Amino acid sequence: MNQKKVCMIGVYGTGKTSLVQQYVHSKFSEKYHSTVGVKIDRKVVEVIGENLTLVLWDIAGKEGDEEVPASYVRGAHGVIFVADFTRRETWDELPAFDELVQGAAGVVPTVVALNKADLTAQRVIAPEDEQKFASKWDIIHTSAKTGQGVEDIFQRLARAMVKVPGAAS
């Protein structure tokens, strides 16, 4: 059986836990519960006819000077960076997160979830901003609330991790 460690990384309150809840349990809650440390979940996906178990490490979001522990990222096979469509600073932290991942896990498949895409009126991340990183990351608009892009982002990362041609890298 094939397993992959996937880390969810982002600033606090970007919706990492909500994305995992929506993806694994098809649930969404408006209430916000800050993640303490890390939460582990699991989802089996099918990639080109093979089952792949994604072990999802929902790591507590960066808050102030509190850094994301590199030890949690070590050995990750793929990473999902989560930024908030409505908060600029969550987007700006992505390069730092990328550096952290490369230091702890090396170069691994990475995708960016631009979450809360349902809140279009409050959007602060401009398409130009996205364009800036488009060559580096696969950026997907997601909404844990509506389910938009949730399945897609995990599927894309899964395909990238098993090196399906044309997948994100």
In the bound complex, what is the minimum distance in angstroms from residue 85's beta carbon to other proteins? 29
Coil, strand or helix at 22: helix
Is the sign of the CA dihedral 112, 149, 13, 35 positive or negative?
Answer: negative
Query: 1 to 60, contacts with other proteins by CB under 8 A?
Result: 1-5, 37-38, 40-42, 52-53, 55, 57
**Per CB under 8 A, does 155 bind other proteins?**
no
Write the CA distances from 28 to 15, 19, 21, integer angstroms: 10, 8, 7
Query: What's the DSSP call for residue 39?
Result: E
Shorter beta-carbon distance to other proteins: residue 42 or 132: 42
* Residue 124 or 162 with smaller CB distance to other proteins: 162
Interactions with other proteins, residue window 60-99 (CB under 8 A) = 69, 71-72, 74-77
Distance (Å, whole) CA 102 – CA 100: 6
Task: Please state the closest distance from residue 162 (CB atom) to other proteins, in A.
Answer: 8
Number of residues near other proteins (by CB under 8 A): 22
Give the residue from 36, 41, 37, 38 showing the smallest Cα distance to 55: 41
Question: What residue ranges bind other proteins (CB under 8 A)?
Answer: 1-5, 37-38, 40-42, 52-53, 55, 57, 69, 71-72, 74-77, 161
